[in-house]
Amino acid sequence: MPDLWSARPTPYAAVDLDVLETNIARMAASATTRGLSLRPHVKTHKCLEIARRQVAAGATGITVATVAEAEVFVEAGFPDLFIAYPVWVDAARGARLRALAGRAALLIGVDSVEGARMLARHAGHDTVDVLVEVDSGHHRTGVAPARAGQLAAAATDAGLHVRGVFTFPGHSYSPGQAEVAAGDEAAALRTAADAVRAIGLEPDVVSGGSTPSASSTDGDVLTEMRPGVYVFNDAQQVELGSCSPAQVALTAYATVVSRRANRIVLDAGSKVLGADRPTWTTGFGRLPDHLDAVVVAMSEHHATVTFPAGVLTPELGELVRIMPNHVCTLVNLADELVVVRQGRAVERWAVAARGANT
Amino acid sequence: MPDLWSARPTPYAAVDLDVLETNIARMAASATTRGLSLRPHVKTHKCLEIARRQVAAGATGITVATVAEAEVFVEAGFPDLFIAYPVWVDAARGARLRALAGRAALLIGVDSVEGARMLARHAGHDTVDVLVEVDSGHHRTGVAPARAGQLAAAATDAGLHVRGVFTFPGHSYSPGQAEVAAGDEAAALRTAADAVRAIGLEPDVVSGGSTPSASSTDGDVLTEMRPGVYVFNDAQQVELGSCSPAQVALTAYATVVSRRANRIVLDAGSKVLGADRPTWTTGFGRLPDHLDAVVVAMSEHHATVTFPAGVLTPELGELVRIMPNHVCTLVNLADELVVVRQGRAVERWAVAARGANT
**Under an 8 A CB cutoff, do B357 and A272 touch?**
yes
Same domain, A84 and A210: yes
Cα A86 from Cα A208, distance rounded (Å): 15
Cα A200 from Cα A250, distance rounded (Å): 46
Boundary residue ending a domain (A229, A255, A289): A229
Residue of B nearest to A65 (CA): B301
Same domain, B126 and B260: no
Same domain, A271 and A214: no
Q: What is the pLDDT of residues A18-49, one digit of tens each?
A: 999 999 999 999 999 999 999 999 999 999 99
In-domain check, residue B355: no
**Under an 8 A CB cutoff, do B332 and A271 touch?**
yes
Q: What local confidence, expressed as pLDDT, does residue B301 receive?
A: 98
A101 touches chain B (CB under 8 A): no
**Chain A hits for B66, Cβ within 8 Å:** 301
Look up residue A104 and give its DSSP letter. Answer: B
pLDDT tops 50 at residue B3:
no
Residue of B nearest to A284 (CA): B276
Q: What is the pLDDT of residues B60-118, one digit of tens each?
A: 999 999 999 999 999 999 999 999 999 999 999 999 999 999 999 999 999 999 999 99
Same domain, B334 and B185: no
Cα A234 from Cα A246, distance rounded (Å): 10
Same domain, B200 and B327: no
In-domain check, residue A356: no
pLDDT tops 80 at residue A195:
yes
pLDDT band at A330 (very low <50, low <70, confident <90, very high): very high
Three-class secondary structure of residue A134 per DSSP: strand
pLDDT band at A6 (very low <50, low <70, confident <90, very high): low
Percent of chain B exceeding pLDDT 90 equals 97
Interface of B with A in 286-345 (CB under 8 A): 297, 299-302, 304, 316-317, 326, 328-329, 332-335
CATH (domain of A23): 3.20.20.10
**Under an 8 A CB cutoff, do A333 and B333 touch?**
yes
**Under an 8 A CB cutoff, do B43 and A302 touch?**
no
Q: What local confidence, expressed as pLDDT, does residue B2 receive?
A: 46
**Chain A hits for B358, Cβ within 8 Å:** 9-12
Instruction: Count structural domains, chain B.
Output: 2
In-domain check, residue B303: yes
In-domain check, residue A355: no
Q: What is the pLDDT of residues B25-76, one digit of tens each?
A: 999 999 999 999 999 999 999 999 999 999 999 999 999 999 999 999 999 9
**Under an 8 A CB cutoff, do B272 and A357 touch?**
yes
Boundary residue ending a domain (A187, A203, A229): A229
Q: A332 to chain B, minimum CA–CA distance in Å?
A: 7
Boundary residue ending a domain (B171, B205, B230): B230
Q: What is the pLDDT of residues B195-213, one digit of tens each?
A: 999 999 999 999 999 999 9
A215 touches chain B (CB under 8 A): no
Q: B271 to chain A, minimum CA–CA distance in Å?
A: 6
Q: Which of A118, A267, A271 is opposite residue B329, by nearest beta carbon?
A: A271
Same domain, B218 and B256: no
Same domain, B218 and B247: no
Same domain, A306 and A263: yes
pLDDT tops 50 at residue B1:
no
Same domain, B264 and B246: yes
In-domain check, residue B306: yes
Q: What is the pLDDT of residues A141-179, one digit of tens each?
A: 999 999 999 999 999 999 999 999 999 999 999 999 999
End-to-end CA distance of chain B: 39
The mean pLDDT value of chain A amounts to 97
B270 touches chain A (CB under 8 A): yes
Same domain, A102 and A194: yes
Q: Which of B11, B258, B302 is opposite residue A358, by nearest beta carbon?
A: B11
Which structural domain, as residue segments, surrounds residue A247?
A: 3-13+237-350
Q: Which of A255, A275, A355 is opposite residue B335, by nearest beta carbon?
A: A355
**Chain A hits for B257, Cβ within 8 Å:** 85-88, 111, 115, 141
Look up residue A344 and give its DSSP letter. Answer: E
Residue of B nearest to A144 (CA): B260
**Under an 8 A CB cutoff, do A317 and B90 touch?**
yes
**Under an 8 A CB cutoff, do B9 and A299 touch?**
no
CATH (domain of B311): 2.40.37.20
End-to-end CA distance of chain A: 39
**Chain B hits for A90, Cβ within 8 Å:** 7, 317
In-domain check, residue B162: yes
Please say whether the beta carbons of A110 and A155 come within 8 A.
Answer: yes
Interface of A with B in 80-99 (CB under 8 A): 85-88, 90-93
pLDDT band at B151 (very low <50, low <70, confident <90, very high): very high
Q: What is the pLDDT of residues B159-193, one digit of tens each?
A: 999 999 999 999 999 999 999 999 999 999 999 99
pLDDT tops 60 at residue A263:
yes
Name which of A81-85, B7-11, B332-336 the model is least confident about: B7-11
**Under an 8 A CB cutoff, do A299 and B357 touch?**
no
Q: What is the pLDDT of residues A59-106, one digit of tens each?
A: 999 999 999 999 999 999 999 999 999 999 999 999 999 999 999 999
Q: What is the pLDDT of residues A103-139, one digit of tens each?
A: 999 999 999 999 999 999 999 999 999 999 999 999 9
Q: What local confidence, expressed as pLDDT, does residue B4 receive?
A: 53
**Chain A hits for B88, Cβ within 8 Å:** 255-257, 267, 316-317
Q: Which of A111, A265, A335 is opposite residue B140, by nearest beta carbon?
A: A265
Give me the mean pLDDT over the A277-303 stretch.
97
Whether the ω angle into residue A11 lies within 30 degrees of 0, i.e. cis, is yes
**Under an 8 A CB cutoff, do B270 and A274 touch?**
yes
In-domain check, residue B356: no
**Under an 8 A CB cutoff, do B357 and A86 touch?**
no
Q: What local confidence, expressed as pLDDT, does residue A280 receive?
A: 97
In-domain check, residue B25: yes
Whether the ω angle into residue B11 lies within 30 degrees of 0, i.e. cis, is yes
Same domain, A188 and A322: no
Q: What is the pLDDT of residues B267-309, one digit of tens each?
A: 999 999 999 999 999 999 999 999 999 999 999 999 999 999 9
Residue of B nearest to A270 (CA): B329
**Chain B hits for A122, Cβ within 8 Å:** none
Same domain, B31 and B145: yes
Asked if ipTM goes beyond 0.95, one says yes
